[in-house]
Amino acid sequence: MIRLENITKAFPLNDEEVIALKGVNLTIKEGSFIAIMGPSGSGKSTLMNILGCLDRPTSGRYFLDDVDVSRMDDDSLSEARGKKLGFIFQSYNLLSQLTVVENIQLPLVYQDVSLKSQHDYTIELVEQVGLSDRIDHKPTQLSGGQQQRVAIARALINRPLMVLADEPTGNLDSQTEKEIMEVLSALHKDGKTVVVVTHDEAVAKYAEYVIRMKDGVIVKTEKNEIEAKNESKAESKTEKGSV
């Protein structure tokens, strides 16, 4: 279980403070697919950075896989990040001199895992994201959608507990966006926990739950009853803060 308890985050700014998160409570069940939405400045990125163990809260507790990571030192925090989380970015963040397979395996290098031992799993992921005929290509030889597929496979290589995606389709056209969201939907159907930040309602529609933020707090949690590919979104009330 993944749980945020009364999380606040203050950033010092000159002599004052900007309070980016003002008490966020959120429980994420394993296997959930969540979209975080909200206007610019509402705290989405700050929340994602905390969920992603890239930053620590000012107060409150964050349990990742039942372990409190909110007070961990930098080394322990980056270890938790490397072992338990996968990241997908708007700009793909692939290394241009590496091939598809090498990019996917990159997180293993940082973790000292033998690449050979993970060869079969890498090939499985390449197939899962539909890039079997592109394994030796370099990023510049791929379309944006294909590059994002590589990034999705890279996010999965360490078998993370949760995948975090910040505007994963922000650089893609609407058809490619649909294809990428279908890949993320498939991950969810496979049982993976997926959290996406987006400003696009069409993207949020693929998620199981939509969390709406405003001024540093969660103001609403909606359940999308009918997932993906369905034009009409049926909403229903859900217990606030537990998804």
Ligand X SMILES: Nc1ncnc2c1ncn2[C@@H]1O[C@H](COP(=O)(O)OP(=O)(O)O)[C@@H](O)[C@H]1O
Instruction: Report the interface residues with ligand X, using CB under 6 A.
Output: 11, 13, 18, 20, 38, 40-46
Chain residue whose CB lies nearest Mg ion: 45
Q: How far is the CB of 228 from Mg ion (least distance, A)?
A: 25
Nearer to ligand X, 40 or 174 (CB): 40
Residue with Cβ nearer ligand X (50 or 69): 50
CB of 42: closest distance to ligand X in angstroms? 4
Q: Which is nearer to ligand X, 31 or 39 (CB)?
A: 39
Length of the chain: 243
CB 4, min distance to ligand X, A: 14
Q: Is the Cβ of residue 46 or residue 185 nearer to ligand X in the bound state?
A: 46
How would you list the strands of the sheet with 235-237, edge to edge? Answer: 85-89, 162-166, 193-197, 33-37, 209-214, 217-224, 235-237
Q: How far is the CB of 40 from ligand X (least distance, A)?
A: 4
Edge-to-edge, what's the strand order for the sheet holding 67-68?
16-28, 2-13, 59-64, 67-68
Residues at the contact surface with Mg ion, assessed by CB under 5 A: 44-45
- Find which of Mg ion, ligand X, none residue 23 binds, CB within 5 to 8 Å per kind: none
* Nearest-10 Cα torsion for 88, 93, 97, 103: -10
120 binds, among Mg ion, ligand X, none (CB under 5 to 8 A by kind): none
Three-state secondary structure string covering 99-134: CHHHHHHHHHHHCCCCCHHHHHHHHHHHHHCCCHHH
**What is the sign of the dihedral through the CA atoms of 109, 113, 119 and 124?**
negative
Which residue, 5 or 166, is less far from Mg ion as judged by CB? 166
Q: Which does 168 bind (CB under 5 to 8 A by kind): ligand X, Mg ion, none?
A: none
8 A C-beta contact, residue 25 and residue 239: no
The least distance separating Mg ion from the CB of residue 63, rounded to whole angstroms, comes to 24
13 binds, among Mg ion, ligand X, none (CB under 5 to 8 A by kind): ligand X
